[in-house]
């Protein structure tokens, strides 16, 4: 949330969303309540609910309608994080121990389910039937995308296209739907809806490409999670895909992945080699291409303060890479 401190309007509305989220996640089950509190206190950038609300400002902004929707989408996202951490065997997320590290995988399964059912409850509160269905289609695609990613673990033959398709489903879909739902529920004009939708899609691509890049270049401090976690779990992302195409790096990296003995020293070495291969620069360049597209989408939108908030968001995400 501190991510939004400079956009006072957005920050104020997100404070309200936070109340909605906490309200929806109330439970008398003591252990669950404790786990959820830690999850909430760990914070997060709250980008998806912000997209819902900011998009809504391009039309007839109806706070009562958008609040539960924004909260529901964030809770949905939290559910996917909790379940992802099970698969990734992740110990740390947003700088604090994950549910599965602290309470065990079993509790993480239930906590994720609880979050999903609560998201369902909020989302069905006020939204148009059509948008409810779009959202459930996106949830379906996210699940399929997750399984695709899991199935292609350690698969060194995936192409840049496979990767882009995967992150499109895993991340960009929910970004774009957040914008679209916010806009449609606020009765925006069709071309405004279209531009916000495309903006969300491009921004989601930027977000995930940079997130994957940070797995190689970031540190625990700035990322809130351990670097090389994805790579160590066999998730093949853009920097590695690029490095694998370079003759000087290909065989060595293939051999390391095939051996699957990812000691800290091995991980450090891979990190270094990917850097040398130009894989990070390539990722940055691709992220920049999506940033340009996102900026173009913004240019086509009406010049209102909400547009400036989206510009700030693009800039903030862009800065994450350094």
Q: 62 vs 251, which CB is nearer to a second copy? A: 62
- At residue 62, what are phi and psi to the nearest 5 degrees? -115, 95
Nearer to a second copy by Cβ, of 8 and 136: the residue is: 136
Residue 134 Cβ vs a second copy, minimum distance, rounded to whole Å? 10
CB of 2 to a second copy, least distance (A): 30
Shortest distance, position 133 Cβ to a second copy, whole Å: 7
User: Nearer to a second copy by C-beta: 124 or 318?
Assistant: 124
Give the DSSP H or E segment for 112: helix 105-123
Judge residue 147's burial from the number of C-beta atoms within 10 Å of its C-beta, 0-12 exposed, 13-18 middle, 19 or more buried: exposed
Kindly tell me which of 144 and 251 has the beta carbon lying closer to a second copy.
144
Least separation in angstroms between residue 89's CB and a second copy is 10
State which residue, 125 or 318, has the beta carbon closest to a second copy.
125
Report how far residue 161's alpha carbon sits from residue 68's, in angstroms, rounded to the nearest whole number: 35
Q: From CA 43, how far away is CA 20, in angstroms rounded?
A: 14
Q: Are 179 and 280 in contact (CB under 8 A)?
A: no
Q: How far is the CB of 31 from a second copy (least distance, A)?
A: 6
**Among the listed residues 205, 209, 230, 190, the one whose alpha carbon sits nearest the alpha carbon of residue 279:** 209
Closest to a second copy by CB, 20 vs 216, is 20
Least distance between a second copy and beta carbon 80 (Å)? 8
Alpha-carbon distance of 220 to 68, in angstroms, equals: 32
What is the widest separation between alpha-carbon atoms in the chain?
Answer: 58
89: left (phi over 0), alpha (psi -120 to 50) or beta: left
Residues in the chain: 322
Least Å distance between CB 235 and a second copy?
12
> Where does this chain bind a second copy (CB under 8 A)?
27-29, 31-32, 79-80, 83, 86-87, 105-107, 109-110, 112-114, 116-118, 120-121, 124-125, 129, 132-133, 136-137, 139-140, 143-144, 146-148, 150-151
- With respect to a second copy, which residue has the nearer C-beta, 7 or 86? 86
């Amino acid at each position: 949330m501190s991510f939004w401190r400079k956009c006072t309007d957005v920050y104020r509305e997100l404070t309200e969303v936070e109340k909605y989220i906490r309200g929806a996640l109330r439970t008398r089950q003591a252990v669950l309540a404790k786990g959820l509190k830690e999850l909430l206190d760990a914070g997060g950038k709250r980008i998806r609910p912000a997209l819902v609300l900011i998009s809504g400002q391009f039309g007839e902004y109806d706070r009562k309608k958008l609040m539960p929707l924004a909260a529901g989408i964030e809770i949905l996202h939290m559910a996917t994080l909790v379940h992802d951490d099970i698969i990734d065997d992740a110990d740390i997320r947003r700088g604090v121990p994950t549910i599965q590290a602290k309470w065990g995988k079993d509790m993480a399964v239930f906590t994720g389910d609880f979050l999903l059912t609560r998201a369902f409850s909020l989302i069905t509160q006020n939204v148009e039937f059509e948008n409810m269905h779009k959202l459930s289609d996106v949830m379906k695609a996210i699940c399929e995308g997750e399984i695709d990613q899991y199935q292609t673990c350690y698969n060194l033959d995936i192409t840049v296209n496979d990767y882009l398709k995967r992150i499109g489903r895993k991340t960009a879909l929910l970004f774009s739907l957040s914008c679209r739902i916010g806009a449609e529920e606020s009765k925006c004009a069709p071309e405004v809806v279209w531009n916000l939708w495309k903006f969300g899609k491009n921004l989601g691509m930027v977000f995930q490409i940079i997130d994957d890049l940070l797995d190689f270049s970031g540190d625990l401090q700035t990322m809130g999670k351990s670097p090389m976690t994805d790579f160590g779990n066999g998730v093949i992302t853009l920097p590695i895909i690029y490095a694998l195409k370079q003759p000087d790096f290909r065989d060595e990296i293939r051999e390391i992945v095939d051996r699957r003995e990812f000691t800290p020293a091995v991980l450090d070495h891979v990190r270094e080699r990917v850097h040398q291969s130009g894989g990070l620069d390539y990722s940055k360049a691709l992220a920049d291409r999506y940033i340009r597209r996102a900026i173009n989408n913004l240019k086509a939108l009406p010049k209102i303060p909400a547009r400036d908030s989206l510009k700030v968001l693009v800039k903030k995400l862009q800065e994450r890479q350094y």
